[in-house]
Amino acid sequence: MSSNTNTNEPSKTTGQYHSVKGNVVETVGNLTGAESWQTSGRDEHAQGEAEYKAAQAKCYAEGTIDRLGGKKDAVVGAVTGDRTQEASGNVRHDKGEAEQNANKPQ
């Protein structure tokens, strides 16, 4: 997962936080009968889930870019005999593949 320093970018961590917080608020609303808490909890949970999925999709796409770029570098390095480029391409490819696997849509 990429670090999230831009607050306009979706964040898996922030999404999970709001999803869980929304569930807690909704539960309190259910226990107390406070409909406003039930509604706001459901809304916050849904927004958290949406943010998590958006961040997951972004990380998957970044993994795809790294995987393809790494494969290209590895092939070019192998063809030209540049073992350093080939090795760094393989590392980038593997990193991208790991990021894709960690962020597969469910």
pLDDT band at 8 (very low <50, low <70, confident <90, very high): confident
Percent of the chain with pLDDT over 70: 93
Query: CA 33, 38, 44: angle at the middle one, nearest 5?
Result: 160
Confidence of residue 7 (pLDDT cuts 50, 70, 90): low
Cβ neighbours, 10 Å, residue 12 = 20
Q: How confident is the model at residue 1 (pLDDT cuts 50, 70, 90)?
A: very low
Give the tens place of pLDDT for each residue, 58-82: 999 999 999 999 999 999 999 999 9
pTM confidence score: 0.77
